[in-house]
């Protein structure tokens, strides 16, 4: 009794299309929403989000930018932001807790430098920020 089909056939593994459709596609869609400026919860732009944790404590403005300080219960954080983002230029941010070493980030950046974070539980800190040679220093603050 000859037949056209072989007697013992093995089934080829199914492609993982269901896995891709159920996991990868929603993940990529969510990632695209997060990376697209002006979208997401509340329609906030990426510039409105801080790179430092904690609440904003102080902002010191100077001719070419500003030095922003943030504070949590245990830590202090600082960022220097240029008023006019663009071409890379020398920028620097420094944050020092009283009795400790300064955390410094310096180099050529286009928009901001930092964040630098130090442990500042029950300690004053001092900060310095500069953009293209113009800068601002604080005394002992956030005591």
Domains in the chain, please, with CATH?
Answer: 17-46 (no CATH), 50-137 (2.60.40)
Structure tokens at 89: 């230029």
Could you tell me how far CA 59 lies from the centroid of its own chain?
18
Q: Tell me the mean pLDDT in the region 109-113.
A: 95
pLDDT band (50, 70, 90) for residue 143: confident
> What is the pTM for the complete model shown?
0.65
The whole-number pLDDT of residue 37 equals: 56
95: pLDDT strictly greater than 70: yes
């Amino acid at each position: 009794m000859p037949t056209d089909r072989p007697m013992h056939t093995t089934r080829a593994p199914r492609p993982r299309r269901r896995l891709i459709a159920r996991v990868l596609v929603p993940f990529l869609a969510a990632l695209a929403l997060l990376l697209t400026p002006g979208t997401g919860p509340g329609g906030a732009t990426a510039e409105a989000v801080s790179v430092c944790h904690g609440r904003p404590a102080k902002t010191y403005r100077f001719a070419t930018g500003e030095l922003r300080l943030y504070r949590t219960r245990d830590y202090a954080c600082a960022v220097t932001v240029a008023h006019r983002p663009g071409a890379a230029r020398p920028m620097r941010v420094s944050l020092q807790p009283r009795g400790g070493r300064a955390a410094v980030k310096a180099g050529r950046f286009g928009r901001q430098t930092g964040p630098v974070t130090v442990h500042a539980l029950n300690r004053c800190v001092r900060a310095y920020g500069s953009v293209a040679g113009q800068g601002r220093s604080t005394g002992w603050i956030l005591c």
